[in-house]
């Protein structure tokens, strides 16, 4: 019932993404997720995301439908200079207007080509980038050549933005969000999160079933499982922001206490963010030795802002010589047990820990596939070790997926093992 | 005009993704991209992707609209065991049918809990996972607890699939694709690709403008720019697969010859895939030393199947001690010029190259942000070096984005520099 209430009282938003490359699966639509988060933080409910073709009829149809059901329509993509972009023509037709050349935009487009063109003249087609709808407010694009456009018509707001992520983000933050202030609903939507690891969705639901049953109708609980982590999201709505927050946080706290053994955080963070925050706070340093995860485990941690305070080093030891020379794995261990073995990951984890003088070391070694499997060690066989101040723990996994999923699951399990050992070490 | 022709003669498909987490931007919809690629390979045109809320009315509305305009409707998500999932109830109402418990599915769900439940009883809610629409063919899910469902109604085909990516992929490949054989159009859609690097979209369009002008109406050219790479995609349609292929490949070849200086590949590959393929073929080995890219550069290369044949090692040298100890960077260089300097990246690239006995070494060092910037070296300052058999080249970049984008741009530029140097070394 929650969604019906929201759609009646707050601004309803819809995102339209234009581009054959999305329908063909050549590009993953990350813009919509970013926009969804931003609008949610502004209490604006996104009720639909639509991806359509670079095609005039498809664009006209999508705009017509969106105008019927939404108050705010954000359109991304289709504003590049080349001939495959028919968006402007289609939207001019939708608004029954014409395109006019904007002189300020043209000066800006020219200046970009002067700066980055290495002396080459601006191609003729880029003049067209300065063409905008006669009825629009230009959303001036400081960071690219495609201007955005803002149009209000029959009480609905339309924003047309380029598909290049950082240009789209710039225009949203600097040009669109300020314009939304007048329209934003006074109703508050509030989210509280509890993140767990190491317990399945159904067991978790059973564990907190009685708390869930007591939730009032205006608080909704969602389960978001992903690779060993389950995020619980409580969504509440009400007129008094402080009241809504207090009530929802109360239920979140009850849940957090109940799931303490599996608790990662009482806010919406990834396990990587939780590790970086906790290790930084406790002044603990981490080092990582990777074989099958190939640098992505280190990369997932260092991608978190501030990771340099707790991340020591990472060694991607694809070849045995690096395992021996840099990590100090015994030649004999490699010869007797192989690179994918408990003995090897123990020495890798302990080796990388002492190499960097870190407090914890993680090591992964496995056969991600699609080739490299043997009858003894088929594709998906992965050994993981985590070495802490008091002990080194290991675990063997048999994943049965493709390379990418095997790598992702290895990363998730490695972080799971690290978190568990760290919790244990700190409960003593 | 291309899209209109396709929509008349081939099966029109639509993807519906159910889940508040997508609208809130907490999860990026990667399932749709995977489905788009798969359907394209089957000559089935996806003309729309829609993401909607976990809400009965939204599901009913989306199914009603989809049934009007599409022949094949693929629905993912909303089949989990917890209370937030209302999909089955909504679709039973759409098809005016009831839910029935499938005994074979129930046995399977129970067996999974016996295997992985560590002795805990199956939660009651999981019984509901064995409920399916009375009018459906069950798509038996060997790899998870949520069964898929297949329904044909009024000449339209509907498939309902769980949102967990590997379960969805399993059901598509094993259960849905075989059922599509009867429906697939006899018309061929063919794509040819030319991938370039180091030239902007507009200059590229200028360079090949005359070839583009000569394309017949049934061949469509699209530009897909991303971080220094521009992929050109020629899409053609016709009744004779061999003819369509021959004609389109001919134009792709003309374009490839024209853009030779910027050419990465004459097929749809990423720059990482091109590097892995080329280095493997030429028996060349690569090593990587990373600071600001934190393991993601190594990870992007090792994520390519077969990378172990050409990837030697990666060192994520966040701390100076690792730069000195493992990579052999001089203490004096670090003290005089700092970690983010031309002198340091040269020693890092040369150090990692000789550490692994590789042919090429890449090094990145920069300030990804959001903190760590200084007036001299603001956030976004990145030095990159590539060391080959004959020389070491360096370049300084000033990115002005957030941490994630600065890291992505550094990775793209490092691979760009590697590719250019390798091409130069092999043109001598």
List the 68-87 stretch of B: residues with Cβ below 8 A of A. Answer: 80-84
Contact between chains at A233 and B26 (C-beta distance less than 8 A): yes
The verdict on B174 touching A (C-beta cutoff 8 Å) is no
With 90 as the cut, is the pLDDT of residue A295 above it?
yes
- Please state, as a whole number, how many other Cβ atoms lie within 10 Å of the Cβ of residue B355: 21
pLDDT, position A180 = 87
Q: Percentage of residues in chain A with pLDDT exceeding 70?
A: 95
Beta strands in A79-238 (DSSP E): 99-101, 131-133, 137-139, 148-153, 156-161, 188-197, 219-226, 229-238
Please compute the mean of the pLDDT values over residues B46-65 and round it to a whole number. 94
Statement: residue A21 has pLDDT above 60? yes
Q: Report the residue from B58, B123, B125 with minimal CB separation from A47.
A: B58
Q: Which of residues 97-136 of A touch B (CB under 8 A)?
A: 116, 120, 122-126
CB contact under 8 A, A37 and B28: no
pLDDT in tens, B386-410: 999 999 999 999 987 789 889 999 9
Say if CB A78 and CB A27 are below 8 A apart. no
pLDDT per position as a tens digit, B202-259:
899 999 999 999 999 889 888 888 888 999 999 888 888 899 999 999 999 999 999 9
Is the pLDDT at B1 greater than 60? The verdict is no
Distance from CA of B369 to the nearest CA of A (A): 7
Task: Give pLDDT tens digits for A188-244.
Answer: 778 899 999 989 888 999 999 999 999 998 898 888 888 889 999 998 888 888 999
Q: Classify A361 as helix, strand or coil.
A: strand
Q: CB A27: neighbour CB atoms within 10 A?
A: 21
Q: Does B298 touch chain A (CB under 8 A)?
A: yes
The reported pLDDT for the residue numbered B388 is 97
C-alpha dihedral sign at A297, A298, A300, A306: positive
Instruction: Please list every residue in chain B whose beta carbon sits closer than 8 Å to the beta carbon of residue A120.
Output: 203
Give the pLDDT mean for B43-68: 93
Average pLDDT score, chain A: 91
pLDDT recorded at residue A6: 41
Are residues A305 and B55, on separate chains, in Cβ contact within 8 Å?
A: no
> Is pLDDT of A3 > 70?
no
Whether the CA torsion A6, A9, A10, A12 is positive or negative: it is positive
Residue B194's H or E segment, with its range, is: strand B188-197
Q: What integer pLDDT is reported at residue A86 of this predicted model?
A: 86
pLDDT at A4: 36
| CB pair distance less than 8 Å for A23 and B3 | no
What integer pLDDT is reported at residue B59 of this predicted model? 95
Is the separation of the CB atoms in B406 and B414 below 8 Å? Answer: no
Confidence at residue A328, expressed as pLDDT on a 0 to 100 scale: 96
Instruction: List the alpha helices (DSSP H) in B54-133.
Output: 56-69, 87-94, 103-116
Which residue among B83, B303, B356 sits closest to A407, beta carbon to beta carbon? B303
- CB B184 within 8 Å of CB B11: yes
Q: Poorest-confidence range of A38-47, A56-65, A345-354, A403-412? A: A38-47
Residue A184 in this model has a pLDDT that exceeds 70: no
Question: What pLDDT score was predicted for residue B84?
Answer: 54
Write the secondary structure of A144-168 as one string of H (helix), E (strand) and C (coil). Answer: CCCCEEEEEECCEEEEEECCCHHHH
What does the pLDDT read at residue B407?
Answer: 94
Q: How far is B288 from chain A (nearest CA, A)?
A: 9
Q: How far is CA B342 from CA B393, B396, B406, in A?
A: 10, 8, 18
CA distance A355 to B318: 13
Q: Which two tokens stand for residue A211?
A: 């708390």
pLDDT of residue A428: 64
Per CB-CB distance under 8 Å, the chain B contacts of A314 are: 294-295, 314-316, 318
Give the separation between CA A223 and CA B21, rounded to whole angstroms. 9
**Contacts with A, B 185-244, CB within 8 Å:** 191, 200-203, 205-206, 212, 220-226, 231, 233, 235
Mutate to test the interface with A, among B19, B24, B267, B303 (most CBs of A within 10 A): B24
Nearest residue to A177 (alpha-carbon basis) of A289, A43, A285 = A43
Q: Which residues of B touch A195 (CB under 8 A)?
A: none
Whose CA is closest to A406, among A414, B76, A417? A414
The answer to whether the beta carbons of residues B396 and B381 sit under 8 Å apart is: yes
Q: What is chain B's mean pLDDT, rounded?
A: 90
Q: For position A185, what pLDDT does the model report?
A: 60
Q: What is the pLDDT of residue B8?
A: 36
Domains and CATH numbers, chain A: 2-180 (3.40.980.10), 188-265 (3.30.70.2860), 271-425 (3.90.950.20)
pLDDT at B56: 92
Q: What is the pLDDT of residue A190?
A: 86
Among A200, A208, A152, A194, which residue's Cα sits nearest to residue A176? Answer: A152
Q: How far apart are the first and last CA of chain B?
A: 46
Measure in Å the smallest separation between the Cα of B138 and chain A Cα atoms.
22
Tokens for A189, please give them. 């939507």
Rounded Cα distance, A318 and A293, in Å: 10
DSSP secondary structure letter of residue A228: T
pLDDT score recorded for residue A238 = 82
Interface test with A, best of B47, B299, B402 (most A CBs within 10 A): B299
- Taking phi first (over 0 means left), then psi (-120 to 50 degrees means alpha), and beta for anything else, what does residue A97 get? beta
Per-residue model confidence as pLDDT tens digits over B83-137: 556 889 999 999 999 999 999 999 999 988 887 766 778 888 888 889 999 999 9
- Is a pLDDT exceeding 80 seen at residue A187? no
B413 three-state secondary structure:
helix
Residues 311-370 of chain A with CB under 8 A from chain B are 311-319, 321-322, 325-326, 355-357, 369-370
Min Cα separation A388/chain B (Å): 20
Say what the pLDDT of residue B7 is. 37
Mean pLDDT of B369-385: 92
For B123-178, the DSSP string reads PGGGGGGGEEETTSEEE--TTSSS-EEEEEETTEEEEEE-SSHHHHHHHIIIIIHH
Q: How far is B295 from chain A (nearest CA, A)?
A: 4
Q: Could you tell me which chain A residue has the CA closest to the CA of B18?
A: A48
Tokens of A80: 């590049």
Give the pair of three-digit tokens for residue B276: 């892995």
Residue B5 has pLDDT above 50, yes or no: no
B82·A202 Cβ contact <8 A = yes
- Residue B20: list chain A partners with CB under 8 A: 3, 222, 235
Q: What is the pLDDT of residues A73-102, one digit of tens each?
A: 999 998 877 755 688 999 999 999 999 999
Nearest CB to A33 within list B25, B312, B316: B25
Mean pLDDT, to the nearest integer, of A401-410? 89
Q: How confident is the model at residue A127 (pLDDT cuts 50, 70, 90)?
A: confident
* C-alpha pair distances (Å), A104 with each of A97, A114, A129, B15: 20, 15, 12, 41
Is B166 in Cβ contact with A401 (below 8 Å)?
A: yes
Supply the DSSP string of B167-180, one letter for each residue: HHHHHIIIIIHHHH
In this prediction, residue B428 carries a pLDDT of 64
The per-residue pLDDT for A40 is 85
User: What pLDDT, on the 0 to 100 scale, is given for residue B96?
Assistant: 95
Predicted local distance difference test score (pLDDT) of residue B209 = 94
Taking the CA of residue B390 and the nearest CA in chain A, the distance in Å comes to: 24
Instruction: Please tell me the least confidently modeled range out of B24-28, B235-239, B243-247, B338-342.
Output: B235-239
Of A268-272, A283-287, A390-394, the range with the lowest mean pLDDT is: A268-272
The span from the CA of B221 to the CA of B112, in Å, is 49
- Name the pairing type of β-strands A286-290 and A72-76: unpaired
pLDDT at A37 over 80: yes
Q: Does the beta-carbon distance from A165 to B405 stay under 8 Å?
A: yes
Cis peptide before B399 (omega within 30 of 0): no
């Amino acid at each position: 019932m929650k969604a019906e209430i929201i759609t009646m009282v707050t601004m309803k938003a819809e995102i339209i993404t234009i581009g054959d490359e999305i329908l063909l699966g050549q590009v993953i639509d990350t813009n919509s997720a970013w926009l969804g988060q931003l609008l949610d933080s502004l209490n604006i409910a996104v009720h639909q995301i639509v991806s359509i073709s670079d095609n005039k009829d498809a664009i006209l149809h999508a705009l017509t439908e969106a105008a019927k059901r939404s108050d705010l329509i954000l359109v991304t993509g289709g504003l590049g200079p080349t001939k495959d972009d028919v968006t402007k023509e289609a939207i001019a037709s939708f608004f029954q207007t014409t395109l006019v050349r904007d002189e300020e935009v043209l000066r800006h487009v020219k200046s970009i080509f002067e700066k980055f063109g290495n002396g080459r003249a601006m191609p003729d087609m880029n003049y067209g980038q300065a063409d905008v709808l006669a009825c629009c407010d230009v959303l001036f694009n400081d960071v690219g050549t495609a201007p955005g456009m803002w149009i209000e018509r029959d009480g609905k707001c339309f924003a047309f933005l380029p598909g290049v992520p950082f240009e789209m983000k710039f225009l949203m933050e600097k040009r669109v969000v300020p314009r939304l202030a007048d329209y934003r609903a006074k109703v508050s939507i509030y989210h509280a999160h509890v993140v767990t690891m190491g317990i399945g969705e159904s067991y978790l639901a059973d564990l907190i079933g009685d708390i869930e049953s007591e939730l009032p109708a205006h608080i909704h609980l969602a389960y978001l499982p992903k690779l060993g982590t389950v995020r619980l999201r409580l969504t509440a709505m009400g007129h008094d922001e402080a009241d809504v927050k207090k009530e929802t946080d109360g239920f979140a706290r009850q849940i957090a206490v109940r799931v303490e053994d599996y608790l990662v955080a009482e806010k919406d963070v990834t396990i990587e963010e939780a590790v970086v925050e906790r290790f930084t706070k406790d002044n603990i340093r981490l080092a990582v030795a990777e074989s099958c995860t190939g640098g992505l485990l280190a990369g997932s941690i260092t991608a978190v802002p501030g990771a340099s305070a707790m991340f020591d080093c990472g060694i991607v030891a694809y070849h045995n010589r690096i395992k021996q020379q840099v990590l100090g794995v015994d030649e004999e261990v490699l010869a007797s047990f192989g690179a994918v073995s408990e003995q090897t990951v123990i020495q890798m984890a302990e080796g990388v820990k002492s190499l960097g003088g870190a407090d914890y070391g993680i090591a992964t070694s496995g056969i991600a596939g699609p080739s490299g499997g043997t009858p003894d060690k088929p594709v998906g066989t992965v050994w993981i070790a985590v070495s802490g101040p008091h002990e080194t723990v290991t675990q063997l996994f048999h994943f049965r997926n493709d390379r990418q999923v095997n790598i992702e699951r290895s990363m998730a399990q490695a972080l799971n093992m690290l978190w568990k050992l760290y919790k244990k070490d700190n409960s003593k």
